[in-house]
Structure 1
């Protein structure tokens, strides 16, 4: 990957200009010094030639030559000549040596000049170099000093001017760095001072088109999933999604719940007499009413199973709740005024059946059909329950659930189970983290899975207490030497993220934990809740990411929602709902959903993980699709972190008549 330069453009240009100007000043200074020295030497040589000419003329006259010893030393001393030797072919004729202390001979200027009139004679001079004894003189060198000062001032002014001119390019470069760092939304529109302006405007247009393309990609992915799993008329689940959810629910251990089948009597006659538009209007109205009833049940599924059939799946509900639900559905449907072609007292019938884990989907749908026929035989708007040989046991009431939860939280009896999640590395598996699940035991010691007691937690409003109890056990695990090599992933409810007290407590725990330990902690949020309460989740997700923790969105695909949250929250991992993995080699619609989600995560840094892998065929398919990791019983079954030996004690209710 190409790396960006660490030095800014303006700094590079300023450094280059400063270096060039400094080099020019240095070269001029060296050149001036050499020239100055050369001129002084030439001047001294010219002066010494004059002395040689005088001596040459004096030697021609014997009378004058005798007087030369009187005036010549004074002349040489005044000329800073250290020594002079007049030589002839026979030897030294005259020698002069000053008595003053002189510098090293290597520093003296030495020159030997021949006499033109007296052939064979020569004079050797040793003289102090010109200007060697001179010091700096402001008056003499003022022009040079002023010139250097002007150059330095001009250089500084030029640097300031150049930095000001290149400020726009620095802004553009800084914007580019932020875009490479992933802050696309914060720097989508550039500053007006950015330069070159054409590059800035081009970058604005490209980012705008990229955002629009991402939105279009998200809309297209949502469109694909919607047309694959949702009914286009009512917006509820279609038969494909309902069957997939039911198959997945039946595979879960200790699962139980209610199935309802609502069918319109006389649908064919209605279409023939009133037309398809009237029938569609009736279907939409029924879908609205049933959806209102289903709002208070978590993990429920409403499906338009056939043209005139609606199927309802409500997990973890008792027989008593099934009867109440059937009565409510019939009550809201009877408020609808049907078209004239339908009998107002005998146009809607509901079949009800209960399910437990391990049953076959086909048999359950047959039971619903038989229950519907029983309701149809009553010749009025009614519902009928398919009576099995063994009906489900009645579940605890809200008061008993609340007492059980209070006892568990007060006695720290919440049980944590773990299951490993792996990332694919070719044929190898790299451990990612241990996902932690909550389980409880009732007063009889019977263990209850989260899928069964979570609806009761929501019913009594104890989501915040449950999350607080889980975090109370998780944070000590981060500093436990036994688990120092493991990372943990915990589940949080969106309702907890909407509570300021819980957020304050979570922030304090994060502040008190070393960052190295926090990097081994991940938080999981349900996709449907994240999209519904995105504004509440966004600041908490930013808080979690700022401490180095990872953010995971789980149960992706359980509901059909837009995937814009992936980029908005900077999600690290997305876990597919286990219903998508059931028989995925044969379910091409599920493969299409996985491909669509993988495309939505492209270039976002988010990785897709599969949950609930049971066999090698499913593992092979998800690898071929491009899923980055997986989790399931094929790798590791759920095991308890600790074993609680203490027995749970629930205080008995006091009789109101007891004194």
Structure 2
């Protein structure tokens, strides 16, 4: 834009100088014409006087010059006049005018007789004065010329401004800022080009939305059940793999198997419409109940069987939730069929960290068969004996532990590197760990659900952000010291996870804004991560908070991408810089072509954007190799490094 503006200034200056030169030449020509005309008029008067003198001399030898010549010389503004005949002065005249630049006319009137005239006149324009009428005409002319020049300058500038607006929109398009270019159509000229750009940008926006819908359609047909629009069996297997490591569950929770025993008979007797209505009403009711459970899984395993996985839940809460599920199922309007009281059965299997993931479905299936043997619609919990004391802490004990940990600042950041395709470290993700009174580490999967229930997550994340900023400050100070010793300064980048409670807390966001302003020299080395399901459900409320973080200089990342089957257009709307694929998509990616299709579709939908795609949970070389082939630029996981305490 600087070059365009400079060119505009030069063109305008050249145009004005051209007009000024034309006006100057015009005025100079008019002045020269005026001077030449006055001299010629004076010469004509002198010639007329000579003619009169010659005529008087030839026809009236006794001419009386004193009678008529002085008044004429006075009218001519003569300075002096001398008429001689053979060196004899016949008539002399001295006027009362004086001049320095006189016009002298010395002409021989009659060569034979020697009649000679010497006439001295003033300059023809020396005694000329402008009248008010002439001055008015001249002033009107000058003002008219100035007005026309001003009008031409404004018109020319307006036309060039229109070209600059077109150049600005073109620059935004080349930078990939299509939404901003579409939002500022302006008054670019030529208007035909401006309208063409607007139409093309609108069609491009529609094409991007259509591409997003198409990508969602591909993923839907891969991971969603076509009839109920919830996860299918493949989706369930991926999510269970993500909740486990080497077939060992990473946290505690419960898995439910819900079966509608006589669904086939209902479909034969009542028709598909009634069956579909029952399925949709039951699925919608269960989905609403699962909204209160974070990271829950709901999938259809077969025609009449559904699986529900709820992590981070205690055994008592699992029993209560089973009762709620069965109550919801029984509240559905069931058509009159045989054994309508024995239609819904629910089998439950509670698991803890380290339990074998492959046995969970078997245990839940055994519990389901036990519920069916009891008769009538009911639920049954598979009994595995005592539960680890670590999971039996009540809400009161957890609140006391978390509050003491906050006061004593016993929350510590652990970091795990994210490696790019060149083998270099892109940044480090911060994980939170807590220490109890004995110094033992407590996993985030244990205390974060309780912190969310107790409303303490903003305080926990605030403490972690403070520790990370202190860590960056120390690294920066060390970098300055290294610079003095000719060593490369540190340039570490950290990503920090933000929860929904923190982002929705006005006090936390105000504190975060103040802190980022205070540490604005460090904000470019911070990345804030938000879970995809949070963004999808609360995009309108979170948009101002995310924009504030981005304007402060930090970058934005959305993680757990692929955990749900949703469109990806929110990535553009929220201006995310990075996305992280959920571990359920990455797990055994080299053996799952459907997951590869998902990643290809996702990366294709982000074409011509600067969004970087990363992967979580990479554990083996084959997974990382396949991800690189698919176009994923960075990854993290046990294959590269375990989380270590950031110091």
Report the TM-score, using the length of structure 2 for normalisation.
0.76
2:536 is equivalent to residue 531 of structure 1: yes
Measure, in 2, the Cα distance between the counterparts of 1:264 and 1:277: 16
Matches within 5 A, 1:378-389: 378-388=374-384
Match of 1:235, SS state, is: coil
- Please say if residues 190 and 200 of structure 1, whose CA atoms lie closer than 8 Å, have aligned partners that are also in contact: no
Q: How does 1:94-493 map to 2 (within 5 A)?
A: 158-188=152-182, 193-251=187-245, 254-388=250-384, 391-393=387-389, 394-424=391-421, 428-480=422-474, 481-482=477-478, 484-493=490-499
After TM superposition, the runs of 4+ consecutive aligned structure 1 residues lying more than 6 A away are 22-32, 137-140, 145-154
Q: Is the 8 A contact 2:326 2:378 kept in 1?
A: yes
The aligned counterpart of 1:509 is: 515
* CA-CA distance at 1:17 after TM superposition: 2.6
Question: 3-state SS of the aligned residue for 2:222?
Answer: helix
How many Å separate the matches in 1 of 2:283 and 2:642?
39
CA distance in 2, matches of 1:430, 1:9: 44
| 2:619 counterpart of 1:614 | yes
CA distance in 2, matches of 1:157, 1:320: 84
Cα distance, 1:376 vs structure 2:
1.0
Structural mapping, 1:637-652, within 5 Å: 637-642=642-647
Is the Cα contact below 8 Å between 1:242 and 1:301 reproduced in 2? Answer: yes
* Structure 2 CA distance for aligned equivalents of residues 466 and 171 of structure 1: 48
Count, aligned residues = 536
Q: Aligned to 1:231, what secondary structure does the other structure show?
A: coil
Confirm or deny: 8 A CA contact 2:364 2:382 kept in the other structure.
Answer: yes
Q: 1:566 aligns with which of 560, 566, 571?
A: 571
Return closer, same or farther for 1:264/1:15 CA change in 2, 3 Å cut-off: same
The answer (yes or no) to whether the contact 1:528–1:561 under 8 Å persists in 2 is no
Deviation at 1:274, TM superposition (A): 2.0
Pick one of 594, 619, 636 that aligns with 1:631.
Answer: 636
TM-score where L is the length of structure 1:
0.74
Match of 2:11 in 1: 13
Conserved in 2, the CA contact under 8 Å of 1:249 and 1:357? no
Q: For 1:473 and 1:342, how far apart are their aligned partners in 2?
A: 64
Higher percent of residues as helix: 2
Q: Is the 8 A contact 1:317 1:395 kept in 2?
A: no
What's the CA shift string for 1:22-76, capped at 9, x where partnerless?
78799999999xxxxxxxxxxxxxxxxxxxxxxxxxxxxxxxxxxxxxxxxxxxx
CA contact (8 A) 1:283 1:308 kept: no
Instruction: Give a deviation string over 1:317-374, Cα, whole Å, max 9, x none.
Output: 2322222222221222222242222413211111111234454444222222211111
* Inter-partner Cα distance in structure 2 for 1:547 and 1:170: 30
**Any gaps of 5 or more consecutive residues in structure 1?**
33-136, 643-659
SS of 2:424's partner is strand
Q: Distance in 2 between matches of 1:412 and 1:189?
A: 47
Q: Is the 8 A contact 1:367 1:386 kept in 2?
A: yes
CA distance in 2, matches of 1:383, 1:191: 62
- In terms of mean alpha carbon deviation, does 481-490 or 600-609 score higher? 481-490
Q: CA offsets, 1:223-274, max 9 Å, x none?
A: 2222221223322211111111011112176422111101111233222222
CA distance in 2, matches of 1:573, 1:188: 24
Please tell me whether the aligned partners of residues 270 and 342 of structure 1 are also in contact (alpha carbons under 8 angstroms): no
Equivalent residues of 2:165, 2:186 under 8 A apart? no
Counterpart-to-counterpart distance in 1, 2:381 and 2:524: 52
Q: Deviation at 1:15?
A: 3.7
How has the CA–CA distance of structure 1 residues 154 and 205 changed in structure 2, closer, same or farther, with 3 Å as cutoff? Answer: closer
CA offsets 1:501-538 (integer angstroms, 9 cap, x no match) = 111111111111143x2111111111110121112221
Change (3 A) 1:272 1:630: same
* Aligned counterpart in structure 1 of residue 502 of structure 2, from 473, 496, 506: 496
| 2:594 equivalent among 589, 595, 606 | 589
Stretches of structure 2 that go unaligned for 5 or more consecutive residues are: 31-125, 480-489
Cα pair 1:330 1:350 within 8 Å, conserved: yes
CA contact (8 A) 1:337 1:344 kept: no
Q: Return the alpha-carbon distance in structure 1 between the equivalents of residues 372 and 127 of structure 2.
A: 120
C-alpha separation between the residues in 2 aligned to 1:148 and 1:290? 85
1:302 and 1:390 mapped to 2: Cα distance? Answer: 27
**How far off its partner does 1:466 sit?**
1.7
* CA positional deviation for 1:276: 2.4
Structure 1 pair 504/203, CA: closer, same or farther in 2 (3 Å)?
A: same
Q: How far apart are the structure 1 equivalents of 2:211 and 2:633? A: 21
Q: CA deviation at 1:587?
A: 1.4
Cα distance change, pair 507–389 in 1 and its aligned pair in 2 (3 A): closer
